[in-house]
């Protein structure tokens, strides 16, 4: 007959027990152990050590050797190990096994052996996940029911842990569709989709709560959290956890008796302690005693606050809240032990209930997370340092851009003016000067665009634009370069393409211009062809295939992926011969990916290359007029009668701007700083103000803000165009925020300056 304590262990619903009487070769096991292996006690195999056949092969070999050595050694009476079983349902069961000799003959021969098995599958499952992902590590130590899941946007594949399957009551290897089908309400499913994709695009974590209905009809409330994971340069996966947060009635815990809870706590491999309503110890695990330096003490019926006086004042309020029925927890809390050592703990306090549904006391779970906290703090520090470095890089690029663009404005502007009336012997030199200046400006713009993309500051507009005009303008802008090289530049547009679509015409133009510029650059003879053809069109969207094909130098297949990397070209010889930053294709690739598309390549060395991609744009009913087009130099007419104010402290910039304004018959005044500009606007009537942003006394932002705050209607409506060499990522938004009408970067394009002056002064409409 077993003792009362042995009976408690034998009936324990958490611990599997197996006895083997060796002389008679008989075995007995409790219902818990049978259930662990997927059996009913009445259906157990009759062989004595039936469970050996259920061991995973690797564990079987090492365990049998260990057991034989143990049975033949006279001294040891117990040993512990971890064993893995294959259950009747085909699942892997992880256990912590303890073997103890119950009876041994004087000669040393073992007559009776007992083994106890504790299911640690949940801990092992989480440990495996923790090794692969730090995100789950931060969530996995909850005592509550938590499962993990992963969704790959590229492969469209879904994986979830066994615990997730149990929460959703799904069969093994569920699909993304069957998982989402459990969402109880369609609105929740749609909302989850929106949050998921928004988090993916923004690369931020999100939390979502909703109700599900399992295939068996059970309704549960769940909490989902997900975080994007980057693989190389691309963010492709969402990794998350799911927790069953369904409110549980107080009567539910009564299925487990207090003495069974005590037995479980004593055997638990984690830090657990059980107290009555007076906060006296009923049970504590070995791990608990280890963390709180209580080894060797008999804690039974000891008052918690007397055993741990240094924690009494801090912990008492949390204990009282739990004794009132609340669950209290802390994800990370600093703890100074009795020995003065600083540790970090994560804890959960829950009430336990007596058979009469009254609170019998509390159970406390503690996890030592000092190492995790140190790693987290190191990660936060590293993140802050990286952010500071990114800010410093952005500020450096902005400053350098301003310092380079200011003289570039003079170089390009004056070169442009000189070429209007150049002598024949000067034209060649001016062309070289113009070409060199424009190439330098391309390098600057590439680096700045790349920085914007890296910083996640690219935003896409959605405006109506004329697709055919955009492509025609790109061809017209690059035609002279192609003609100078003796190659053809063709444009082929599908007749079925809509004239008007919605999207970011600037970014789409940048993508195609990058591809065409490269094609012209790397083609010495033959032609470059731009093609736009209709893929499909429905009620809301149009998908278009864009292709840029050349007969140039081509690219070896082993270099196809390399040319899309930052600052990389196919070979060093290419860089020396053709120049460039190696950022054009990187920027093109990133801009397309941000719009849900992918650049593709087909190329043969010495034959040519073809870059192509599909882009889906929204349909538009906009009817374009002549005013939507850009004026060429030949179309520019006199703007006589307009009076402008130029606010700029750089004399060279002023000289260049005045030269163009004089050509267009525009009269102008000059203010050397923002304060003077504010005064002059109040003394004379100007049709438009060109406002530099960085000036002494008062900058362009402050001057514009003060002008807009002046009382008369004129000051609220007078057009103010920001004219600046700055390249801060948010400069445009900041300019509009203070009331500026438009924005031009220096060095400016004369045609663009002309058009914006004509547009905002009301002259554009009168010309059409």
DSSP reduced 3-state for 715: helix
Q: How far is CA 674 from CA 682, 684, 694, 761, in A?
A: 13, 16, 9, 21
| 234-287 confidence digits (pLDDT tens) | 667 888 888 887 754 333 344 445 566 666 677 666 788 889 999 999 988 888
Cβ neighbour number for residue 163 with a 10 Å cutoff:
22
Please give the pLDDT value at position 27: 79
Cβ neighbour number for residue 219 with a 10 Å cutoff:
10
Q: How far apart are CA 322 and CA 320, in angstroms?
A: 5
pLDDT at residue 602 greater than cutoff 60: yes
pLDDT at residue 567 greater than cutoff 50: no
| Count of alpha carbons within 13 angstroms of residue 26, beta-carbon side | 2
| 537-547 confidence digits (pLDDT tens) | 988 899 999 99
Q: Radius of gyration of the chain from Cα atoms?
A: 38
Output the CA torsion 6→7→10→14 (10° steps). Answer: -100
Q: How far apart are CA 125 and CA 374, in angstroms?
A: 24
156: left (phi over 0), alpha (psi -120 to 50) or beta: left
pLDDT at residue 515 greater than cutoff 70: yes
Beta-bridge mates of residue 48: none
From the centroid of its chain, how far is CA 488?
44
Mean pLDDT (the chain) is 78
| 690-723 confidence digits (pLDDT tens) | 998 888 889 999 999 999 999 889 999 999 999 8
**Tokens standing for residue 233:** 């340069």
| 166-221 confidence digits (pLDDT tens) | 888 888 778 888 888 888 777 777 778 778 877 777 778 888 888 888 888 887 88
Q: How far apart are CA 45 and CA 60, in angstroms?
A: 18
pLDDT at residue 757 greater than cutoff 70: yes
Please give the pLDDT value at position 547: 94
- Of 347, 360, 407, 348, give the one whose Cα is nearest residue 650: 407
Work out the percent of the chain whose per-residue pLDDT is above 90: 15
Domains in the chain, CATH or no CATH each: 4-119 (3.30.450.20), 124-244 (3.30.450.20), 252-368 (3.30.450.20), 458-624 (3.30.565.10), 633-766 (3.40.50.2300)
CB neighbours of 719 closer than 8 A, spacing ≥ 6? 687, 688, 689, 741, 742, 760, 761
């Amino acid at each position: 007959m077993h003792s009362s304590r042995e009976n408690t262990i034998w009936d324990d619903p958490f611990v599997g027990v197996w006895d083997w009487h060796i002389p008679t070769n008989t075995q007995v096991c409790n219902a818990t152990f049978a259930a662990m292996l997927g059996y009913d006690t009445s259906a157990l195999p009759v062989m004595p050590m039936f469970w050996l056949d259920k061991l995973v092969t690797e564990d079987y070999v090492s365990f049998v050797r260990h057991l034989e050595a143990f049975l033949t050694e006279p001294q040891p009476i117990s040993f512990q190990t971890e064993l893995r079983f294959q259950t009747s349902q085909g699942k892997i069961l992880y256990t912590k096994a303890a073997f103890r000799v119950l009876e041994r003959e004087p000669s040393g021969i073992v007559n009776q052996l007992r083994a106890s098995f504790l299911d640690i599958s949940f801990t092992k499952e989480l440990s495996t996940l923790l090794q692969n992902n730090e995100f789950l590590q931060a969530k996995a130590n909850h005592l509550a029911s938590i499962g993990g899941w992963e969704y790959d946007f590229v492969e469209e594949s879904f994986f979830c842990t066994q615990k997730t399957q149990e929460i959703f009551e799904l069969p093994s290897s569920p699909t993304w569709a069957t998982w989402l089908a459990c969402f109880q309400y369609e609105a929740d499913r749609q909302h989850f989709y929106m949050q998921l994709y928004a988090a993916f695009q923004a690369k931020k974590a999100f939390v979502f709560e909703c109700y599900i209905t399992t295939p068996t009809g059970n309704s549960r409330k769940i909490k989902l959290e997900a975080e994007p994971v980057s693989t190389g340069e691309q963010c492709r996966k969402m990794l998350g956890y799911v927790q069953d947060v369904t409110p549980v009635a107080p009567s539910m815990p009564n299925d487990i008796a207090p003495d069974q809870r005590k037995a479980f706590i004593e055997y638990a491999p984690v830090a657990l302690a059980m107290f009555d309503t007076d906060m006296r110890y009923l049970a504590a695990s070995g791990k608990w005693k280890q963390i709180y330096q209580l080894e060797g003490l008999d804690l039974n019926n000891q008052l918690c606050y007397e055993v741990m006086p240094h924690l009494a004042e801090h912990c008492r309020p949390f204990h009282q809240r739990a004794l009132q029925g609340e669950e209290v927890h802390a994800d990370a809390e600093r703890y100074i032990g009795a020995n003065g050592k600083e540790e970090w703990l994560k804890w959960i306090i829950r009430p336990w209930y007596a058979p009469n549904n009254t609170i019998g006391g509390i159970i406390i779970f503690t996890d030592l997370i000092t190492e995790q906290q140190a790693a987290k703090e190191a990660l936060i520090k590293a993140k802050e340092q990286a952010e500071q470095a990114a800010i410093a890089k952005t500020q450096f690029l902005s400053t350098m851009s301003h310092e380079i663009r200011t003289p570039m404005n003079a170089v390009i502007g004056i070169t442009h003016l000189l070429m209007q009336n150049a002598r024949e012997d000067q034209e060649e030199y001016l062309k070289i000067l113009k070409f060199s200046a424009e190439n330098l400006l391309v390098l600057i713009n590439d680096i700045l665009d790349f920085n914007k993309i890296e910083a996640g500051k690219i935003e896409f507009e959605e405006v109506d634009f004329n697709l055919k005009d955009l492509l025609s303008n790109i061809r017209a802008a690059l035609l002279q370069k192609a003609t100078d090289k003796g190659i053809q530049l063709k444009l082929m547009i599908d007749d079925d393409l809509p004239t008007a679509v919605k999207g970011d015409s600037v970014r789409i133009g940048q993508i195609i211009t990058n591809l065409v510029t490269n094609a012209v650059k790397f083609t010495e003879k033959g032609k470059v062809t731009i093609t736009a053809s209709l893929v499909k069109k429905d009620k809301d969207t149009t998908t278009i295939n864009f292709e840029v094909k050349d007969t140039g130098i081509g690219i070896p297949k082993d270099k196809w992926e390399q040319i899309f990397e930052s600052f990389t070209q196919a070979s060093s010889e290419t860089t020396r011969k053709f120049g460039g930053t190696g950022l054009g294709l990187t920027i093109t690739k990133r801009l397309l990916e941000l719009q849900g598309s992918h650049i593709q390549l087909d190329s043969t060395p010495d034959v040519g290359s073809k870059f192509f991609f599909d882009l889906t744009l929204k349909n538009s009913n906009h009817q374009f007029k002549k005013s939507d087009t850009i004026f060429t130099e030949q179309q520019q007419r006199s703007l006589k009668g307009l009076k402008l104010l130029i606010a700029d402290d750089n004399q060279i910039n002023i000289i260049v701007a005045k030269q163009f304004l004089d050509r267009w018959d525009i009269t102008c005044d000059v203010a050397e700083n923002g304060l003077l500009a504010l005064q002059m606007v109040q003394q004379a009537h100007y049709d438009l103000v060109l406002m530099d942003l960085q000036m002494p006394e008062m900058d362009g932002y402050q001057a514009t803000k003060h002008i807009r705050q002046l009382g008369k209607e004129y000051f609220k409506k007078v057009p103010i165009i920001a004219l600046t060499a700055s390249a801060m990522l948010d400069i445009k938004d900041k300019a509009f925020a203070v009331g500026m009408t438009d924005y031009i970067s220096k060095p400016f394009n004369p045609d663009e300056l002309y058009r914006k002056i004509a547009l905002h002064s009301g002259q554009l409409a009168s010309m059409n």
